[in-house]
Amino acid sequence: MNRKRAIVFVSLCVVGVAVTSAYLLHVKRRLAHADAIAAGESTSVARTPVDAPVASPPTPGAATPDQTTRAQPAGAPAATAAVPEASPQVARPETRRLFYRHTGVDGHYGQVAWLDLADRSVIHYVDSLRCEVVYVAGGHGICLSADRGVFTTYAASLFDARDFKVSGSFELKGIPSRARVSIDGSLAALTVFVSGHGYTTLDFSTQTLLIDVASGKAVADLEEFEVRRDGAVIKAADFNFWGVTFTPDAREFYATLSTAGNHFLVRGDIAGRSATVIHENVECPSLSPDARHVAYKKRFNVNGRIGWQLYVLELATGREIALSEKRSIDDQLEWLDARQVLYSVPSAEDGSSPSTDVWSANIDARSPPRLFLRSAYSPAAARCKSAAACTAAAR
């Protein structure tokens, strides 16, 4: 009997040693994996995992997993949970990142955030960048920020979308409004309110600059461009430009020109320092990836109140398509793909919250708008000239 007990005791000891060894090996591997992740990513990025990606955006009013409900409460430290081991650390050529300004009322408010559109299970926060407006393309980004001290000041920062290091910055003359980067990453554009703070009246003044990303220097102020309408040069003291969107070759752009209460779509030639009026009642244009359509907001005045409806202009024919979104939208749209646009909507209809959500709409105008991402503003699909360029920019 004693011999049997001894055998049982020895067996239990062997099993215990084996289990302990296996556990220690597992811990060692997990620590090594965490070190590898930390070594390969910018230390300014905090990551918040979400239980599961949303397979498709919901229809209005439908219950849906909230991608930002895992954000920390106001005042809490930034999330540092690791990305699940199955998540890719380097984006594949067929994936694309969506950058945006996080607007959740929590410790990440105002930070630049991004997620992988192929796997939206994790939201990444860039602790080093807090912006009023952000945009990313061609591996480069622009952040328009506000420093609200005794006197509020504003600045623009250019950054590398791979490691989020700022390559240049400069002061702005007014309140940030719109920003874009060309698809090759060579040029950026920004609009600020020099006076006034919104587009709901005509009592404002803007400045719109084109920036060389490599040098961080302004290369053009749109008010210096010669503008033609029906072949004749036009000029007025009340000219205001805003909402630049670059053509794929970064040689031209579209923008809004406001004068005498009218809002024109102009096509600009950067080298020629000239622009031509091509359509009326167009604000905040956004050129589609295939350069065939311009999405924009169209102004209406109903009983003395200004509102906007979303439209798409077919450039080849001049045909206008009214989108299915019927709320008044004050935003510069972003193209998610050749058939779908993104735009921001206040989370609370009565304006009681500073948070906004991103919605999507198809340009076929048949399907209803859909909630795309909560607690987000200023979305940017981070396109590059090629899939290979996007992959390199994601490393």
Express each pLDDT in 290-314 by its tens digit.
999 999 999 999 888 999 999 999 9
Predicted pLDDT at 47 = 62
Cβ atoms of 355 and 103 closer than 8 Å: yes
Right CATH number for 44-393 from 3.40.718.10, 3.20.20.80, 3.40.140.10, 2.120.10.30?
Answer: 2.120.10.30
Judged against a pLDDT cut of 90, whether residue 277 lies above it is answered with yes
Mean pLDDT, residues 330-334: 97
In 107-239, beta strands by DSSP E: 111-116, 119-130, 133-137, 140-148, 152-160, 166-171, 175-181, 187-195, 205-212, 217-221, 226-229, 232-234
CA–CA gap between residue 212 and residue 193 (Å, rounded): 21
Judged against a pLDDT cut of 50, whether residue 181 lies above it is answered with yes
**pLDDT band for position 72 (50/70/90)?**
very low
Kindly tell me the burial class for residue 187, based on how many C-beta atoms sit within 10 Å of its own C-beta (0-12, 13-18, 19 or more).
buried
Q: What is the mean pLDDT of the chain?
A: 81
Judged against a pLDDT cut of 70, whether residue 19 lies above it is answered with no
- Work out the number of other CB atoms within 10 angstroms of the CB of residue 4: 8
CA–CA gap between residue 18 and residue 184 (Å, rounded): 56
Judged against a pLDDT cut of 50, whether residue 116 lies above it is answered with yes
**pLDDT band for position 98 (50/70/90)?**
very high
Provide φ and ψ at 390, rounded to 5°.
-65, -40
